[in-house]
Structure 1
């Protein structure tokens, strides 16, 4: 058999790369890169400080402050550099302008101003290396330059984020430390003093800025809460509309059903086609009642547009009772003639209570004699609807419904609760039902809206 050469030895798989051992250096480089980005990119748009103030003088205040600051610091810096540090007038003027003039940018671009002032301060310290006056004066930061730099840090604290502020503070401390190490014998070192004062100023500015941001966020949250309250009010209004729909449509549809069912018995000698038509009307009305109930459930959560017709009141109770009588329900009404000037809410609530009570009698107690009474003692309006047991003398007088949804009684209670009154409902011992509402009226000394005289005869 032919022999085959042995396979070459396989080299071991390459070992996975070791994690870098200089983790501290990598973290330091990453932090330096982040600090560099913080110093190179402002964290706010170039909008002026106090741009959103309500008054014009408040919006101009930052410009007035920086203008006054620059107008004071430039000549003071020239005098100090010339007389105390021994610089000639030209050099002192150039350094003064470089260190103080960029302060005009504090109102809208403080970080860009720092990029000009900070190198100018370092350049000024280097220029003072060979001056004899430096031996007995503050160094590396001159007193005017130190004051201007603190104002610059305050403006940064009011505008920039914490990372930028920390980067500026570290850069300031590093520059002071390097200058001290290079020339430790030069004058009275004030780099540590500037570092401490700068930290205090930055903390104050950052605190004021964060407090303002917290107030803005709180205002935004209050705006959101106001929108939520408006949405809740809208849902409550939709619930009211659903209740109005139930009060109005259910009543009229019930009356139509009763009229259509009782027409063949009330009107003798009707042809078969007419009786079938009445039966079809009654069936359609019952189906509409069922659809209305399902729509009512949707309206209580989804809502619809409000009605635009004027709200009814007690002046229409007579029409309501007459319509109920025409539907075959014997009803009596007791209503004082001089009952006017009621508050709109009480007037509407009284009408709806009577309407719902009569609709319940039509649906659940057909043919029952009903008594409606409305009275007032000056302090309260009393609405009373009492019906006898249902009259079961024919198939046409069978109850339209054996069970209810309870929306009618809920609507009554809600209306009475809104007026601050009381409601008493329940069955009577003889099999009837009683609805009694007691609604408070305002004192007689407080005229209602309806009692206000018109502005001119044409308005009446």
Structure 2
């Protein structure tokens, strides 16, 4: 019994929350105000409410017109139907319904002008007309444009003012009441809808801004990687240039054709270096022009680990490959991955957690593993949140190297980063 009661309360709470959100959502042409709701009872709620109003107003209007205003039964029935039944149409098409109801209200006021029971009673609008018209303005405010709503409100005031001039002795000021109440209703419903539209635009803009930030981060990381790889490639091109230039002096008995070939190789290498320097001026920003130090490799991993230990995190390094056996570009990617992983450990991991760094060759891949275990005691980390930019850079480096990256939290606590970087590019051995 308690379970079913709790389920009912939860369902009602979720429905009311969805109802509040749906009320601020502008419906498309031909749709009810809550047509986008996921719950069926919320979608049918406007029809149920309007049907309840029509079912109440129609017989009451006929009764009041016949008994109080002493209008003929046929005419009273026709007016009551024209003033109330179109409210059902207003659920999906409020403006056409307003034309019908407004015309019927004006005709009703003209008919009551000569009725025997009108003196001393509300005129030109009956109480039922006021209630039905206010419901109609609610549906108009949730759908129509601001210009249309202003026109409807002014038309309501003009109609009441004309009847006031037509018969001042019969008017009791109800036209002024309807004018004020309809204006308030239109303003409130339009403001509610405008607030919902503003919130949705804000959500869309935040989504776009987040996507733009992610794209900018990716582009910045790619530019940084390109700058670093430039230094690696430039080193190799410099070696080629020096070897080609010195070959005629190091190798005796070279034929003239070979000397010319080495000279051509050296010239092409120099041109390539010049073009790469031009490329670097595009990639390197003003803040990074001074970065002229050699790019790091696997031989500097121990320095990273020692810096992490000095930061208060117990870290161990297991290293097996010889640096000379790993291409410089792969060494640079591996170093940056370990550097970013250890930086995240220092920022986000409790100081009592142990970290293991492993670099080994498995098959034709260099496997880099950074394993941050669960904390041994409850010590807070330096930072609780992050931007995720570090993982973006890791994935981009691994993607450019043609490898794979597996990063994520561990079931027992901690975090794991494993990158597999191919030591040889596919097709590198082909002639």
Distance 1:55 1:238, change over 3 A: farther
Spell out the pairing of 1:387-402 with structure 2 (5 A cutoff): none
Distance (Å, rounded) in 2 between the aligned partners of 1:190 and 1:89:
24
Distance 1:127 1:416, change over 3 A: same
Distance (Å, rounded) in 1 between the aligned partners of 2:255 and 2:241:
19
Distance 1:233 1:50, change over 3 A: farther
Secondary structure of 2:117's counterpart equals helix
Residue in 2 aligned with 1:92?
76
Spell out the pairing of 1:215-294 with structure 2 (5 A cutoff): 215-294=199-278
Q: C-alpha root-mean-square deviation of aligned residues, in Å?
A: 3.9
8 A Cα contact 1:44 1:160, kept in partner? no
Per-residue displacement from partner, 1:429-452 (whole Å, max 9, x unpaired)? xxxxxxxxxxxx76454463449x
Per-residue displacement from partner, 1:179-207 (whole Å, max 9, x unpaired)? 22222233644112112211211111121
Q: For residue 86 of structure 1, report the CA deviation from its aligned partner.
A: 2.0
8 A Cα contact 1:245 1:296, kept in partner? no
Residue in 2 aligned with 1:334?
none
Distance (Å, rounded) in 1 between the aligned partners of 2:213 and 2:186:
40
Q: For residue 415 of structure 1, report the CA deviation from its aligned partner.
A: 7.8
Secondary structure of 1:138's counterpart equals coil
Residue in 2 aligned with 1:162?
146
Q: For residue 115 of structure 1, report the CA deviation from its aligned partner.
A: 0.9
Secondary structure of 1:191's counterpart equals helix
Secondary structure of 1:86's counterpart equals coil
Secondary structure of 1:136's counterpart equals coil
Residue in 2 aligned with 1:50?
34
Among 412, 416, 426, the alignment partner of 1:448 is 416
8 A Cα contact 2:149 2:186, kept in partner? yes
Distance 1:254 1:419, change over 3 A: farther
Distance 1:415 1:182, change over 3 A: same
Runs of 4+ in 1 over 6 A off after TM superposition: 380-383, 411-417
Among 132, 138, 163, the alignment partner of 2:122 is 138
Distance (Å, rounded) in 2 between the aligned partners of 1:245 and 1:109:
64
Distance 1:227 1:418, change over 3 A: same
Whose radius of gyration is greater, 1 or 2? 1
Secondary structure of 2:159's counterpart equals helix
Distance 1:250 1:65, change over 3 A: farther
Give the TM-score normalised by structure 2.
0.60
Q: For residue 89 of structure 1, report the CA deviation from its aligned partner.
A: 2.6
Residue in 2 aligned with 1:6?
none
Q: For residue 171 of structure 1, report the CA deviation from its aligned partner.
A: 1.6
Among 108, 114, 119, the alignment partner of 1:124 is 108
Q: For residue 100 of structure 1, report the CA deviation from its aligned partner.
A: 0.8
Q: For residue 101 of structure 1, report the CA deviation from its aligned partner.
A: 1.1
Q: List alignment gaps of at least 5 residues for structure 1.
A: 1-42, 302-352, 359-370, 384-410, 422-440, 452-460
Distance 1:207 1:413, change over 3 A: farther
Distance 1:217 1:444, change over 3 A: closer
Distance (Å, rounded) in 2 between the aligned partners of 1:53 and 1:147:
27
Among 379, 382, 393, the alignment partner of 2:315 is 379
Among 295, 311, 325, the alignment partner of 1:356 is 295
Distance (Å, rounded) in 1 between the aligned partners of 2:172 and 2:261:
112
Distance (Å, rounded) in 1 between the aligned partners of 2:231 and 2:169:
96
Spell out the pairing of 1:310-329 with structure 2 (5 A cutoff): none
Spell out the pairing of 1:327-338 with structure 2 (5 A cutoff): none
Among 101, 104, 115, the alignment partner of 2:99 is 115
Distance 1:412 1:246, change over 3 A: farther
Give the TM-score normalised by structure 1.
0.56
Aligned residues: 303
Query: Given the alignment of the two structures, is residue 148 of structure 1 paired with residue 84 of structure 2, yes or no?
Result: no
